[in-house]
Amino acid sequence: MAGYFEKACDVFIHIDKKQSVTREEEEKLRSYKQVKVVSREYDVNWGGTSVLESEMHLLRMAVQRSDADYFHLISGQDYPTRPLDYFLEFFDRNAGKEYIGYLHLPHPNWEDNTFRRLQYYYPYDYAAGKRNPREVGQGTGKATTGQKGKTPHSR
């Protein structure tokens, strides 16, 4: 997916420590001009604070090392459905606008399982040596892309 962001983007990647990625695969990621950082700082567990910690780690590095106007957090299961130019043009046309929203919970548009993540404590970060049954067969890598745009004030 790093190749998708070949122009006008800076890419910052965190690979979950649990993922088996070879040195060669990591070096291939680093070989892309747009990839600024490949990190393996966190053992990311579903429902744990490690998800937020790894995201904040990437965003801190992105803000320090990129002059991007927008940052997009992309998880391992995400995949863009349009050509990159579509997204770049959209954010150029809408420079300075912020795209963040909220809902009061519980909300009928949220599935029950999603709201449970906020209702209950999942101690997966502290279950040392135990395999999280919810992660079987799922990747947990994350990437942050910084889009270089025309508005220097919004980050």
Give 74's strand partners. Answer: 143
For residues 133 and 122, give the distance between their C-alpha atoms in angstroms, rounded to a whole number.
12
The pLDDT confidence band at residue 150, using thresholds 50, 70 and 90, is very low
67-124: pLDDT as tens digits: 998 899 888 788 889 999 999 999 999 999 998 888 887 777 777 666 676 667 667 7
CA dihedral 27, 31, 35, 40 (to 10 degrees): 10
pLDDT in tens, 135-148: 555 444 555 555 55
The answer to whether residues 75 and 13 touch, using CB atoms and an 8 Å cutoff, is: no
Question: What is d(CA 87, CA 149) in angstroms, rounded to the nearest whole number?
Answer: 11
State pTM to two decimals.
Answer: 0.70
Q: What is the rounded distance in angstroms from the CA atom of residue 69 to the CA atom of residue 11?
A: 13
Task: Give, in degrees to the nearest 5, the angle at Cα 63 between 43 and 23.
Answer: 40
